[in-house]
Structure 1
Amino acid sequence: MPRVRLALLPVLALLAAAAPASAQDFGPAITGPPALGVAADGQAVLAWSGSVTTFASLRPAGGAFGPRLKLSTGGNASRTFALGVGRRGDAVVVWQRTDRRGSPTGSLLASVHRPGGTFHAPIRIPGSTGARNPSAAVSSDGTTLVAWRLRGPTGCGYEVRAAIVRPGHPFGPAHRISSACANAALVRTSMSGDGRGAVVWRTGRSRESYAIDAAVIGLTRVGAVRRLSYSPMVGLDIEVAGSDTGTIVVWRDRRGIGPAGATGRVAARNLTASRAGAIVRVSTSDQVVGVARVSVRPNGAGIIAWEEGISPSRVMSATRPTTVAPFSAPTVVDTCGATDASRTYASPARDASGGAAVIFQSACMSGYGLGPDYGIALGRRAPEAPWSAAQAVSGAAYGTWSRIGTADDGELVLAWVESNAAGLRTAILPG
């Protein structure tokens, strides 16, 4: 039985036994990747776009995801949205209405959730008329940061703007974060434990000159723009995550362009209000594909996951125990990733004890007895232990767009999409 991996059977039994309380299917009405956020106690928020509607579902600590909630009202909603979730369970979903042609129009709208309640009626974010591609983050005390792109002067592409708000208060005026001629894209946000936020974006006119800029923002002050990358980046994405001491920024530094396209290594850099740390090369191979993703604990302990190589790719990870500690040498999570097949990149999570997990798209589902289609698999690692054999999460249908989050006690919250009637699926696995 090649690659059958007997660990699959306990996982399927666990999922089946826990299905009434810990699993929920939301159907095929989903038009893009979902977003998932998990609080310290296991509360979770799942958000997604259903063609012309923005939906969400809430999960209480220790329970199952509740029914689908329609957040967008008063007209059709754009398929682009943003989700931010804080450690105590505060959350915000940011979305925008569309015109008759389906293009985003008007201001950004924020639907806010506080622990123990449901989503409030959407509120308009001042200064966001004409916004594109919002990003949102929520701090441990519920302070919320929203950033977006806005068309700048002719020939300058987009600039970056942001607004920040404390719980129970209205959004204040929007701040311009970037220069007026930033040619900005890939706006990302994070919040740190001190209530400051970080806004990170890609700048540059072409893939030969893409760079990463960032600024720290507080309730009353915007910090200076800092250049974080010193060589051109591979322009796929930027990932950020906040801790008590600041933000870690992860991207793919370009190493060259060959017959298979751009190659690069995973790089990371710490960002605080006072300084940007040194650039750290996380991967040893320069054959990284897709996007590297990061998960960070409040003390800065973190894990980065990515894929490298082709036919098939290897799923890799590197960890650190604190903000000031170096990342470990890369280790293999699984030898059969999907080589960026559906932009379903490997996503990591790390719990309070040091346990870790990575969810990814696998090209070897036949090894689990699930047929030839790509599916979703999960690798787990106990503290100070090697990675266990990966286990199948999805069924026989094509699986994509996987997401993961963890409570402090190691309980895992998973979401993914299957190309069948189940559509968007969730599962809860104990720590």
Structure 2
Amino acid sequence: MSIQIPRGTQDILPGEIEKWQFIEKKAKEICNRFLYKEIRTPIFEHTELFQRSVGDTTDIVQKEMYTFEDRGGRSLTLRPEGTAAVVRSYAENKMYGQAAQPVKLYYFGPMFRYERPQAGRYRQFIQFGVEAIGSNDPSIDAEVISLAMELYKELGLKKLRLVINSLGDTSSRKAHRDALIHHFKPRIGEFCKDCRQRLETNPLRILDCKKDRDHQLMKSAPSILDYLNDESLQYFEAVKQHLSDMDIEYVVDPTLVRGLDYYNHTAFEIMSEADGFGAITTLCGGGRYNGLVQEVGGPDQPGIGFALSIERLLSALEAEGVELPQEHAVDCYIIALGEKAIDYAVPLLQKLRREGFSAEKDYMGRKMKAQFKAAERIGAKFALIIGEDELESGNAMVKNLTTGDQERVPFDHLPGYLRSEG
């Protein structure tokens, strides 16, 4: 019996991994421009972290987490999202005491959710996310949104739709919560089991239900925008103005609530409108989470961030027919003929690699023609041909595999030649 990969996971093989590496490199370049620094947190955390931050009433906590007990009887969970762990690290390591504020961070890493696998959605998936913690300035909200948009656009995506909303502050949310309960309660029996449970615990999440999205009461539900107090409304208007000033187009959607309990004020999603992308169009989601730092044991510090799935980003690139550039992987390939040349190729290969070149040679005892094919197959720029004549003369035959030109180059001059011609 052969052992196969677990359902909802994938192997990312050579030939495909280069796309992931290109995206990661581009994301890091953009983060450096925006002065966001990388952070790496554990793949598993204490379960309580996600219960307190993500929320007991969310689908993630109730249905999707991979939770287990370790040998000491402690409940641990594979991280289902990145924000909670970053905020925990921010509080635990007292980053709020750093001179540079706000603290601007980004991360890459695997996340885990037990849900039904489908196109672009896996049980282990890779997230890229950013968090800006410590500022209540609405311009930082706009900056975080602009960073996500910049990444998508620089990768070549054009068919994007930015949707924003305000969830308001505590008092605004309470007023809206009461209105939602009053609206749904008389007919809550017509809704799914999850929505019936959410009515009293978190009625805002009823608006995010996929099963009852077409129910008549969903369309007539009270809008959060009608319950924003003056402070929340002013904040939202400032965020919108900053986006307009940066020429970033957006659509306001009062039904956008996001799926996590910690959001307040600004919430946003970036969606793909490419034909054939699929029914689930969301590429990226995020928002403000004032109060979350305090919830996990730190001081009362505001924050905002987003997370996106690399898998869904790749699907969107494919839907729009965007080909990511492929960098030359190999500078040169050594083709050795005869026992002495084969032995000589070993230290020569090491020397070239120490000089900073990507280099390869034959390990399969192939004939000369097959070695040339192997060099072309891996995309080598040059072939270095070594035989008895080359060893006697002290010159390698160097062939440019793109132009077909070739010339003899002294072995000692090879690094300089490859550097100047490459």
In terms of Rg, which structure is larger?
2
Greater RCO structure (CA 8 Å; 6+ sep): 2
Q: Give TM-score scaled by structure 2 length.
A: 0.22
Q: Give TM-score scaled by structure 1 length.
A: 0.22
Higher strand share: 1
